[in-house]
């Protein structure tokens, strides 16, 4: 594996899921793989799980992990080619990224979208510029449109929790209310991975006007009827996202879309997933999060093993 930006960087999803589960069963078996190697984790935006799990994964492989909060501790970076830098940005990525490339063996980056200009966000300029100029493998810690480490984790968690070999699991991705516009990254990425995996009956449900990009959802059944979607579901993945078409907006935060135990009764004793952080009693009810259906802590803990599987693949490919 040369980089990890999306599902397209993975040859075999089941194989990397099994690798993550093997890391979970035996975290230190590859302790020598990363000896004398260093990963730089660059955060242009906040994080808890991604930041900590990536560091733990690197350390389990014997790597040194250095975290740099570019967003509030570094120089303001410019990403546009041929920019006249007379504004607030101090350093061009063209100058900074090659330096990171000399300091580190792997570069991992978190960059959120602006949610102001869809074309700019969906061009993935920031992460592409790091790839172009760093000269070392780049791992996405969530970019403008995708969150692949989260999605790999999600498939690992579904694999752990689904043992019926007679039929595919029914997985429902449901929109949930929120107080502010959020990126489409997690929903895009989950859709992209589940569709590429091809081992689920996949349904996406959301209010009208919250359509995601077809680039990621093609292959899924899409409905505006949440109750219909939830029928016989084995997994319900709860997530808010802002509008894609009229970009980055919230049209409604109808509390009727929040998952409750009453709604969950329509499912096949579904397990409930959320990538966290979650707004309790806005996105997801206390009764679900504190009840037996929730697997959100297991899901978050699996972030370590997904990251470890990816870093291990990159170390093996790049020597």
Stretch near ligand CP under the rule CB under 6 A, chosen from 44-52, 74-82, 98-106, 212-220:
44-52
Give the nearest distance from C-beta 103 to ligand CP in angstroms. Answer: 23
Structure tokens at 220: 């899924």
Indicate the residue among 141 and 258 with the shorter CB distance to ligand CP.
141
Binding track over 125-154 against ligand CP, x by CB under 6 A? -----------------x-------x----
- Under 8 Å between Cβ of 248 and 284: no
Strand partners, 110: 43
CA–CA separation, 234 and 269 (whole Å)? 7
Of residues 67, 276, 279, 301, which one binds ligand CP by CB under 6 A? 276
CB 157 within 8 A of CB 261: no
Q: How far is the CB of 275 from ligand CP (least distance, A)?
A: 4
Rounded Cα distance, 315 and 33, in Å: 7
Return the residue matching tokens 């029928």: 231
Smallest distance from the beta carbon of 162 to ligand CP, in angstroms?
Answer: 21
Residue 304 CA to residue 299 CA, distance in Å, equals 10
Give residue number: closest CB to ligand CP. 50
Show the site string, 218-257: x = touches ligand CP by CB under 6 A, - = not. ----------------------------------------
Could you tell me how many residues of this chain bind ligand CP (CB under 6 A)?
10
Distance CA 273, CA 271 (A): 7
The angle at the Cα of 12, spanning 32 to 271, to the nearest 5 degrees, equals 95
Query: Which residues bind to ligand CP, rule: CB under 6 A?
Result: 47-51, 142, 150, 275-277
């Amino acid at each position: 594996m040369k980089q990890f930006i999306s599902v397209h960087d993975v040859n075999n999803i089941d194989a990397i899921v099994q690798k993550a589960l093997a890391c979970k069963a035996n975290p230190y078996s590859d302790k020598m793989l990363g000896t004398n190697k260093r990963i730089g984790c660059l955060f242009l935006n906040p994080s808890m799980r991604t930041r900590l799990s990536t560091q733990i994964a690197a350390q389990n492989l014997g790597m040194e992990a250095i975290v740099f909060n570019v967003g509030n501790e570094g120089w303001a970076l410019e990403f546009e080619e041929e920019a006249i830098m007379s504004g607030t940005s101090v350093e061009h990525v063209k100058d900074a990224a090659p330096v990171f490339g000399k300091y580190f063996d792997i570069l991992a980056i978190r960059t959120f979208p602006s949610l102001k200009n869809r074309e700019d966000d969906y061009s993935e300029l920031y992460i592409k510029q790091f790839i172009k100029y760093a000269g070392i493998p780049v791992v996405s810690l969530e970019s403008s449109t995708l969150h692949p480490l989260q999605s790999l984790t999600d498939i690992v968690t579904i694999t752990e929790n689904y043992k019926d070999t007679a039929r595919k699991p029914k997985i429902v991705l449901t929109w949930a209310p929120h107080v502010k516009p959020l990126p489409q990254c997690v929903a895009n990425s989950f859709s992209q991975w589940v569709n590429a995996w091809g081992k689920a009956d996949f349904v996406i449900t959301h209010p009208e006007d919250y359509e995601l990009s077809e680039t990621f959802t093609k292959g899924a059944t899409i409905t505006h009827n949440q109750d219909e979607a939830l029928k016989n579901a084995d997994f319900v993945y709860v997530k808010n996202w802002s509008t894609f078409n009229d970009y980055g907006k919230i049209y409604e935060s109808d509390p009727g879309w929040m998952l409750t135990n009453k709604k969950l009764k329509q499912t096949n004793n579904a397990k409930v997933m959320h990538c966290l952080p979650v707004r309790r009693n806005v996105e997801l009810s206390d009764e679900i999060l504190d009840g037996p259906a929730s697997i959100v802590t297991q899901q978050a803990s699996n972030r370590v093993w997904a990251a470890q599987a990816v870093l291990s693949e990159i170390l093996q490919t790049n020597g």
